[in-house]
Amino acid sequence: MKMKTYINSKITMLFVLVLATVVSCERDISEEASEVGFTNDPEIFIDGFSSGLEYYPFGGSDNDAFTVDTEDTYSGSASMRFDVPNYGDSDGSYAGAIFRDDNGGRDLSGYDALTFWAKSSQAGTINEIGFGQDFDENKFLVTLSGLNLATNWKKYIIAIPDASKLTQESGLFWYAEGPENNNGYTFWIDELQFEKLGTIAQYRPSIFGGEDIVVNTFSGVDLPITSMQNTVNLSTGADQTVTIAPGYFNFTSSDTSVATVSELGVVSVIGAGTAVVSATSNDVDALGSLTITSEGQFTAAPIPTQNPENVISIFSDAYTSEPVDYYNGYWAPYQTTLGQNDINVNGDEIIKYSELNFVGIQFSEDVPTIDVSQMTHFHVDIQVQGAVEAGDFLTVKLQDIGVDDDFGGENDTAGEITLTNTTLSDGNWVSIDVPISEFTGLTSRANLAQVVFVSDATITDIYVDNIYFYEISSEPTTAAPTPTIDEANVISVFSDAYTNVAGSELNPNWGQNTVVTEESIAGNNTLKYTDLNYQGLQLGSTQDVSGMTYLHLDYYTVNSSALNAYLISDGPVEAAKALAAPTSGWVTLDIPLADFSPVDLANIIQLKFDGNGDVYLDNIYFYN
Amino acid sequence: MKKLKYISSFLALAMVLLIACDTDETQTVTNFDNLVMEDNFDINGAPDSNIWDYNIGTGSNGWGNNELQYYTDRSENVIVEDGVLKIIARQESYMGSGYTSARLLTSGKFEQTYGRFEARIQLPWGQGIWPAFWLLGEDAGGTQSWPQIGEIDIMENRGQEPTLINGTVHGPEYSGGESITKSYELENDRFDTGFHIFGVEWGENYINFYVDDVLYNQIKPTDVTGDWVFNHPFYIIINVAVGGGYVGSPNDATVFPQEMLVDYVRVYSAD
C-alpha cells in the first residue's frame, strides 16, 4: 500500500528506479517499474537458486528427480542433480521440469548463449534441453534435442537464436529426459547461466526444415509453418541446430490477398492466386518457404449419409478409412497422372489428380486387401476441372486379386463402369452410387486390391472424394418417411397415415409374374413387389384427382435397374413416369400430375408399375 | 599504363600495434611507416591488374597440397565490389574439379625485401575452407625452388577453426609439417564475423606476426631449424583453397559459396 502511494504522487524517475528494486524483492512488479527494464542477471544456478528462480516439474514426471547436490560439483559449493527414473517407475516415467524466473522475467538481450557444465553417471543423451519454456505462451522456446553427456565434466552451449527478443524472459531453463535403455541414471549440471560468448555466428534460421514446400489449396485453409529451426556455428567449428518457436521469426506473405501469416506461424489462405510465405529471424532470411496456389473458394463434396456401420471406406473423412499403399502409384512407364491426397481443406482431405491418363489407388502390398463381399454399392464423388465434351470419359475399375491375395494367377477379377460427359460436369461434384453388380466381371470381391481411374487423357484434372463401399439391405430397415400433408388435401391409395380409397385391389390378376405381399417394415405396412415384371393396382372406385397437384410415392429397391410408374384413366388411357433405380434407401417422389398427360385426371381407375427387381412401395397418394 | 603506387609522403601512422604489444626485450623493433603499396579495392570490377596476377587451374597435385579447387580469374570467383576484394569459393563442377576459387598474387608486379605487410580481412568459414594471406620468395629467375625460396604465411586459417589463425614460416629443413608456426586465438570473437588486420613486420633478422593490435609471435634465425632464407624479395599471395591436407575436405555442413572479404592490402618499408 505504501508503494502505491509513492507511485501515485508522481515521483521522479530516479525514485522509480529505486522502486524497481523494492518491487522485485516483493515479487510484485508494477507497470511503472517495468518501464525501467528487467534484471539482466545472467545466473540461473551457480551454487544455488538465483533470485526469482522457481522449479516446476512436468506433469507425469518424477517430481523428486531434481535435487541440489552439495558434494558433487563442477565448481563451488553446489550443483543441480537430476535422477532420471527407471522405466516404469511409479513416481514418474521420466525427469523433466522448467526453471522459471518468477520475478517477472529477465532481460537476456545482452547474451548469446545458455551455458553450463554437465556430466552424467553413464553416457546419456538428454532428449530435450533448452530455455524459453514458461508454462505460458512459450513464445521464445528453444529446444536442443539429443544432448550427449559424458561421465566427466564438460561445458555445453545452447545458442540464443535472436537475443534481442529476450527482453523479458521467464523461461530460463528446461529439460526432459527419460531412461536410457529402460535404465535410470543421474546427471549433474553446474554453473548454469547465460553468457555473451562472442564466438557464436553464422545464424541460419529455417522453416519447413529448410525445404521449399508447394501446396495447392483453397480459401479457408489454415496451414501451420512447421520445423522451425536455427543453426549456428560454434567456436569449435561445429554447427548446432535447435528447434525454435515462431516468436523468433518475422513471417511474410508475398500476397496478403491470397494468404496471411500470424505471429504464431499459421498461414491462412484467404483468396485465389499464388503467394510465397517466407521468414526472417535475427535479420537473416530463413531457409525454406511455402508456395501456395489457392484455387479460391472451395465447395466440398456432399457429406456422405450412409450409416458408418454399413460402410467400408477407401478415402473419406466422413468415415474411418482403410489403410492404403498409395493414392497414386505413379505406374511407370506410361502413367502421366500426378497428385494424390494433396488437398486438405481444414481437415477435409481431397484427392487431386492432374495430367490424368490413368491412376490407381492400391491396398495390397503393405496393407491388407479389402473384403467388400458384404457390400452392395460403390460410391465416389468426382469433380472435373475443365470442360467436359462429347467423347470424354472416366472409367472406374475395381480390381480383386483373389484368395491367393496376390496379383496374377487364375483368380484375379475386375470390373468397371464408365462415366461420360452426360454424367460428369465441369466444376461440380457428381456423386456416383452404383450397385457393385454393375462392375461386370468383378466376380469376387473378398480381396479387393485397387481402385483405378482411367480417362485416356480425355479428362485431365479431377478432384476425388468419398470413395467407399456400402451395404444397402435388400429389405428396408426403416419405415418410409411418414407423410406430413394434411389429410384434407389428400386422396390416399396406400398409406398407414391416411384413410385409403376403399375397396382397392392391390394384386389384380393381369397375368403378371410379380409376387405381391404386404410387409411390416419397422411397424409400418409396406407394399412389396417381388420379381417385378409388371403389376397393376385397381382402385376401389374411380377417383377424380383433377383437383390434386401431385402423385406422391416412396419406393426402395436395391436390385431394380428399370422401374416405371403409370397412371391409368378410363378408356384405358395410360402414361408412364420413369423412376430412378436402384435406390440407396427410401426415395420420396412427388410427381406432378401434369406429367401423366393425356391421362384424364377426373377418371383415374388404376395404377401400374413395370420394370424389374424387388421393389418396396409406400405412401401412394394424390395431394395438392 | 599506371605504375605501382610508390607513396613517398610521410604518413603519420603511429605504430599502434607496437605501442600495444608488450615490451619484450628480445624483440627487435623497426618502424615501417613508409607506405609503398596499397590497394583499398575501391574500384568495382576486376582487381587492379597493375598489382594483381592470378594462378589458374589446379597446379601440380592440387598446388602441392591435394587441394580440391580449380582457380579461375572469373568474376564468379574474384571481384571487387562494395569496397572490398571478394574471393569466392564455390561448389560447382568446373574443368574437372568440384570447386572453384581464386588465388591472387603480385609476383613480378610487386615484390619487396623487408617491410610491413598487412591486410584487413574477414574470413570465410566452414569445414575444408582454407583462406590464406601469405608471402612467397621470388625464385631468382627459376634457379631456386620451394622451400629454399622461403614462405611467410601471415595468416592461414582452417574454416572449421573460426577463432584461430596461424602465422608460419617455411624454409629449407623447416617446411610443411616441420614449419615454424604459432597460432593466435581470438577471445570472445571470431574471424568470420568481422574484419581483422593480419600483418607481419619483417626485418633483417626477424619476422613479427600480429593480429589487430596484438603482436603474438616473433621468429628469428635462431628459431628456425635451417637456413634463414628471408633476405630477398618476396611477393604477396591471397587465396581461398578448398580441401587439402592442411584443412581436410569440406563436408555436408560446409556452406557454399564462401567469401573472403579483403578491405585493403598495404605494404610499408622502413623510413
Within 8 A by CB and 6+ apart from A452, the residues are A358, A359, A360, A361, A395, A396, A397, A398, A399, A416
Q: Which three cell numbers stand for residue B30?
A: 623497426
Q: Do A196 and B159 touch (CB under 8 A)?
A: no
Specify the 3-state DSSP secondary structure of A421: coil
- What band does B11 get if pLDDT is binned at 50, 70 and 90? very low
Mutating which of A235, A241, A283, A285 best tests the B interface, going by the most B Cβ atoms within 10 A? A235
Beta strand pairing call for A615-623 and A185-195: unpaired
Mutating which of B185, B192, B193 best tests the A interface, going by the most A Cβ atoms within 10 A? B193
Which residue in chain A is spatially nearest to B185 when comparing CA positions? A235
Q: What per-residue confidence (pLDDT) applies to B28?
A: 52
Instruction: Provide the annotated active-site residues of B.
Output: 151, 156
Could you say which architecture CATH assigns to the domain A38-198? Sandwich (2.60)
CATH 3.30.950.10, domain A487-623, yes or no? no
CA distance to partner chain A, nearest, from residue B138 (Å): 35
Largest CA distance in chain A: 115
- pTM comes to 0.69
Question: Which of A199, A233, A237 faces B189 most closely, judged by CB atoms?
Answer: A199
From the candidate CATH numbers 2.60.120.330, 3.40.50.1370, 3.90.1010.10, 2.60.120.200, the one assigned to the domain spanning B30-269: 2.60.120.200
Which residue pairs from A17-25 have beta carbons closer than 8 angstroms and sit at least 24 positions apart in sequence? A24/A51, A24/A52, A24/A103, A24/A104
- Residues of chain A within CATH 2.60.120.430 domain(s) are 38-198, 308-470, 487-623
- What band does B9 get if pLDDT is binned at 50, 70 and 90? very low
Which residue in chain B is spatially nearest to A240 when comparing CA positions? B253
Chain A residues with CB-CB distance to B158 below 8 A: 237
Is B223 touching A (CB cutoff 8 A)?
no
What ranges do the domains of chain B cover? 30-269
**A614 DSSP 8-state letter:** -
Alpha carbon separation from B49 to B75, B81, B87, B104, B110 (Å, rounded):
14, 15, 15, 10, 11
Chain B residues with CB-CB distance to A197 below 8 A: 188
Torsion angles phi and psi, residue A19, rounded to 5: -60, -40
Beta strand pairing call for A212-217 and A289-294: parallel
Chain A residues with CB-CB distance to B126 below 8 A: 233
At B254-265, the pLDDT tens digits run 999 999 999 999
Chain B residues with CB-CB distance to A112 below 8 A: none
CA distance to partner chain A, nearest, from residue B194 (Å): 11
Q: Do A233 and B162 touch (CB under 8 A)?
A: yes
Q: What per-residue confidence (pLDDT) applies to B29?
A: 58
Torsion angles phi and psi, residue B146, rounded to 5: -65, 140
Q: Do B159 and A201 touch (CB under 8 A)?
A: no
Question: Which of B125, B127, B188 faces A197 most closely, judged by CB atoms?
Answer: B188
Distance of alpha carbon A321 from alpha carbon A341, whole angstroms: 13
Share of chain B above pLDDT 90, in %: 85
Distance of alpha carbon B112 from alpha carbon B2, whole angstroms: 19
For residue A312, which amino acid is it? I
Distance of alpha carbon B68 from alpha carbon A151, whole angstroms: 39
| Ramachandran class of A8: left when φ > 0, alpha when ψ lies in -120 to 50, beta otherwise | alpha
Neighbours of B162 (CB within 10 A): 28
Specify the 3-state DSSP secondary structure of A25: helix
Residue in the structure block whose three cell numbers are 481411374: A453
Q: Which three cell numbers stand for residue A329?
A: 502409384
Q: Which three cell numbers stand for residue A456?
A: 485416356
Q: Where are the alpha helices (DSSP H) in A283-342?
A: none
Neighbours of A614 (CB within 10 A): 19
Is B106 touching A (CB cutoff 8 A)?
no
Is B159 touching A (CB cutoff 8 A)?
yes
Q: What per-residue confidence (pLDDT) applies to B18?
A: 41
Buried b (16+ CB within 10 A) or exposed e, A21-34: eebbeeeebbebbe
Which residue in chain B is spatially nearest to A197 when comparing CA positions? B188
Within 8 A by CB and 6+ apart from A329, the residues are A335, A359, A360, A362
Chain A residues with CB-CB distance to B249 below 8 A: none
- Chunked into runs of 10 residues, chain A (624 residues) has average pLDDT values of 34 37 44 66 96 95 95 97 94 94 96 98 96 96 97 98 97 96 96 97 97 90 94 96 97 97 95 97 97 90 92 96 96 93 85 95 96 94 95 97 91 95 93 92 95 96 96 88 94 96 94 94 94 95 95 93 94 94 89 95 96 95 96
At B108-147, the pLDDT tens digits run 999 999 999 999 999 999 999 999 999 999 998 888 899 9
| Ramachandran class of B44: left when φ > 0, alpha when ψ lies in -120 to 50, beta otherwise | beta
Question: Which of B127, B187, B192 faces A201 most closely, judged by CB atoms?
Answer: B192
Q: Where are the alpha helices (DSSP H) in chain B?
A: 16-20
Beta strand pairing call for A289-294 and A284-285: unpaired
Chain B residues with CB-CB distance to A196 below 8 A: 188
Torsion of CA A432, A437, A438, A442, to 10 degrees: 110
Chain B residues with CB-CB distance to A204 below 8 A: 255
Distance of alpha carbon B261 from alpha carbon B133, whole angstroms: 12
Mutating which of A112, A197, A200, A202 best tests the B interface, going by the most B Cβ atoms within 10 A? A202
Q: Return the ∠ at Cα A305 (arms to A303 and A310), rounded to 5°.
A: 130
Distance of alpha carbon A331 from alpha carbon A319, whole angstroms: 28
- What band does B271 get if pLDDT is binned at 50, 70 and 90? confident
Is B258 touching A (CB cutoff 8 A)?
no
Identify which of B182, B254, B250, B253 has the alpha carbon closest to the alpha carbon of residue B220.
B182
Q: Do B162 and A235 touch (CB under 8 A)?
A: yes
Q: What per-residue confidence (pLDDT) applies to A216?
A: 84
Fold of A202-294: Immunoglobulin-like (2.60.40)
The side-by-side arrangement of strands in the sheet containing A266-269 is: A222-224, A266-269, A259-261
Q: Where are the alpha helices (DSSP H) in A9-106?
A: 13-25, 31-34
CB A615 within 8 A of CB A532: yes
Is B183 touching A (CB cutoff 8 A)?
no
Identify which of B106, B133, B93, B127 has the alpha carbon closest to the alpha carbon of residue B36.
B106
A69 burial class (0-12, 13-18, 19+ CB within 10 angstroms)? Answer: middle
Distance of alpha carbon A138 from alpha carbon A284, whole angstroms: 22
Q: What per-residue confidence (pLDDT) applies to B26?
A: 55
Distance of alpha carbon A128 from alpha carbon A134, whole angstroms: 15
Question: Which of B125, B127, B161 faces A202 most closely, judged by CB atoms?
Answer: B125
Q: Which three cell numbers stand for residue A107?
A: 532481460
Identify which of B220, B224, B240 has the alpha carbon closest to the alpha carbon of residue B175.
B224
Asked if the bond preceding A302 is cis, omega within 30° of 0, the reply is no
Distance of alpha carbon A544 from alpha carbon B262, whole angstroms: 106
Mean of per-residue pLDDT scores for chain B: 90
Which residue in chain A is spatially nearest to B186 when comparing CA positions? A199
CB B83 within 8 A of CB B52: no
Strands (E), A93-170: 95-101, 113-120, 124-131, 142-149, 154-159
CB B34 within 8 A of CB B270: yes
Within 8 A by CB and 6+ apart from A269, the residues are A217, A218, A219, A220, A221, A222, A223, A258, A259, A292, A294
HSE toward the beta carbon, residue A598, CA cutoff 13 A = 3
Chain A residues with CB-CB distance to B163 below 8 A: 199, 235
3-state secondary structure B39-66: ECCCCCECCCCCCCEEECECCCCHHHHH
pLDDT reading at B16 higher than 60: no
Mutating which of B127, B157, B163 best tests the A interface, going by the most A Cβ atoms within 10 A? B163
Which residue in chain A is spatially nearest to B124 when comparing CA positions? A202
Least trusted range by pLDDT, from A315-329, B23-37, B223-237: B23-37
**A294 DSSP 8-state letter:** E
Q: What per-residue confidence (pLDDT) applies to A472?
A: 84
CB A398 within 8 A of CB A443: no
Distance of alpha carbon B226 from alpha carbon B208, whole angstroms: 18
Identify which of A182, A20, A4, A166 has the alpha carbon closest to the alpha carbon of residue A93.
A182
Q: Do A237 and B192 touch (CB under 8 A)?
A: no
- What band does B24 get if pLDDT is binned at 50, 70 and 90? low
Q: Which helix (H) or strand (E) holds A4?
A: helix A2-8
Fold of A308-470: Jelly Rolls (2.60.120)
